[in-house]
């Protein structure tokens, strides 16, 4: 590593440039991952809470399978059929409504039958509601009641930080939910035992029902699918760009170093030592660039977390750091051909 560190000192501005580029790419990648996680939390955290207990969910279906959650509505006959197949099934309702507070505040009313909680979502008594952090931010933490469609709900507690399609959630019982959102039908879906869900709806194409697991329930929200796919594609492209940029830089750098590498080989340095030297140089640049970029993103995420949906976690910091480091080293390794194939006799003037 002596030669690599010496080059880093003598060509400091050149390496500062590529380190800065890697740092900016790291900020973009980790920032997009943090934003993706934050937006997902504000889109499907309520659905994830419903599926946290391992239940499966029966949704109305068409020829293509389970319908999108935005237009799902079970009939009374379908609810009876599911209940007959699984007596422990719990109806669940989800609908977007507007509060009667003059502010046109939109919320997602999530309802669960009184028979049992679904996942981590439990309901208050009949006619009451639980508000989430987003509702508190809109209306104040000391709110005692809310009105929807002329119906007043007594607020009896908090339901945590739950969101559905980027709107805060109000949790209530199913009968009250039917009054709040009469156009939503008797229920949106049924939560059934995950171990026996295969017998409910999924095996009969003519039943008009389909069973999905917790991940399938999240995927049934079309806005989340589109949003997540777009951001994930952008992140993947940035990862590929990082590998290409680092590989291109070290390819050019390797071609410029050929005379120096030839001298090293003429003095007895092995090809393996030269490769380790080159990769160590790349690893140093990546460690500084990626580490600095991820640290900047984490700091910015902590500063803006209250105003922008952004998540700072191992998945949005350590994971992108490892990916960027691995792909950058892969790009540098591919660029080693000028270093590996250099002829030591060129250092002695054989090419003149």
| Contacts (Cβ under 8 Å, ≥6 apart) of 317 | 30, 294, 297, 298
pLDDT of residue 349: 63
Domain boundary among 159, 191, 212: 212
pLDDT of residue 344: 73
pLDDT of residue 346: 64
State the total domains in the chain: 2
pLDDT of residue 24: 92
Domain boundary among 191, 212, 233: 212
What's the average model confidence in pLDDT over 47-73?
88
Residues 147 and 236 in one domain: no
Tell me, yes or no, whether 49 lies in a domain: no
What's the average model confidence in pLDDT over 6-19?
77
Under 8 Å between Cβ of 135 and 163: no
Tell me, yes or no, whether 128 lies in a domain: yes
Residues 186 and 164 in one domain: yes
Tell me, yes or no, whether 165 lies in a domain: yes
Q: How, if at all, do strands 209-212 and 167-173 pair?
A: unpaired
Domain residues for the domain of 95 are: 55-212
pTM: 0.79
Tell me, yes or no, whether 95 lies in a domain: yes
What's the average model confidence in pLDDT over 280-294?
89
Residues 206 and 230 in one domain: no
Residues 121 and 184 in one domain: yes
Tell me, yes or no, whether 135 lies in a domain: yes
What's the average model confidence in pLDDT over 312-325?
90
Residues 233 and 293 in one domain: yes
| CA dist 56 → 70, 78, 120, 254 (Å) | 18, 16, 14, 56
pLDDT of residue 59: 92
Tell me, yes or no, whether 218 lies in a domain: no
Residues 68 and 91 in one domain: yes
pLDDT of residue 70: 86
pLDDT of residue 197: 44
pLDDT tens per residue across span 112-148: 876 678 888 888 877 888 888 888 888 877 888 888 8
Residues 59 and 127 in one domain: yes
Residue 224 confidence (pLDDT) above 80: yes
Lowest mean pLDDT, pick from 64-68, 79-83, 203-207, 232-236? 203-207
Residues 27 and 65 in one domain: no
pLDDT band at 193 (very low <50, low <70, confident <90, very high): confident
Residues 270 and 333 in one domain: yes
Question: Which position has the higher pLDDT, 265 or 180?
Answer: 180
Tell me, yes or no, whether 220 lies in a domain: no
Question: Which position has the higher pLDDT, 312 or 142?
Answer: 312
Residues 32 and 91 in one domain: no
User: For the chain, what is the mean pLDDT?
Assistant: 83
| Cα 351 from Cα 80, distance rounded (Å) | 87
pLDDT of residue 271: 73
What's the average model confidence in pLDDT over 66-74?
88
Residues 195 and 59 in one domain: yes
What's the average model confidence in pLDDT over 232-251?
85
Domain boundary among 151, 185, 212: 212
Residues 93 and 63 in one domain: yes
Question: Which position has the higher pLDDT, 334 or 22?
Answer: 22
């Amino acid at each position: 590593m002596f030669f690599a560190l010496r080059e880093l000192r003598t060509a400091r501005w050149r390496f500062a440039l590529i380190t800065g580029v890697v740092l900016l790419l790291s900020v973009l990648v980790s920032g997009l991952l943090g934003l993706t996680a934050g937006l997902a939390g504000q889109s499907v955290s309520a659905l994830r809470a419903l599926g946290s207990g391992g239940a499966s969910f029966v949704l109305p279906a068409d020829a293509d399978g389970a319908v999108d959650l935005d237009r799902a509505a079970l009939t009374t006959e379908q609810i009876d059929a599911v209940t007959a197949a699984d007596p422990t099934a719990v109806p669940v309702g989800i609908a977007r409504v507007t509060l009667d507070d003059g502010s046109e505040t939109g919320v997602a009313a999530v309802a669960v039958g009184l028979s049992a909680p679904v996942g981590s979502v439990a309901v208050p008594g009949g006619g009451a509601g639980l508000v989430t952090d987003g509702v508190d931010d809109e209306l104040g933490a000391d709110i005692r009641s809310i009105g929807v469609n002329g119906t007043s709900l007594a607020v009896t507690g908090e339901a945590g930080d739950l969101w559905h399609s980027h709107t805060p959630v109000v949790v209530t019982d199913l009968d009250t939910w039917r009054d709040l959102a009469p156009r939503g039908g008797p229920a949106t879906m049924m939560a059934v035992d995950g171990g026996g869900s295969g017998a409910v709806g999924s095996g009969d194409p003519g039943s008009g029902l389909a069973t999905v697991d917790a991940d399938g329930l999240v995927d049934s929200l079309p806005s989340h699918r589109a949003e997540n796919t777009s951001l994930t594609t952008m992140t993947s492209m940035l990862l590929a760009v990082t590998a290409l940029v680092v590989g291109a830089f070290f390819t050019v750098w390797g071609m410029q170093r050929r005379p120096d590498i030839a001298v090293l080989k003429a003095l007895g340095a092995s090809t393996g030592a030269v490769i380790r030297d080159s990769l160590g140089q790349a690893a140093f640049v990546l460690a500084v660039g990626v580490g600095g970029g991820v640290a900047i993103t984490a700091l910015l995420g902590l500063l803006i977390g209250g105003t922008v949906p952004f998540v700072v976690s191992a998945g949005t910091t350590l994971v992108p750091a490892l990916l960027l480091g691995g792909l950058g080293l892969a790009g540098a390794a591919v660029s080693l051909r000028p270093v590996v194939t250099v002829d030591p006799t060129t250092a002695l003037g054989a090419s003149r």
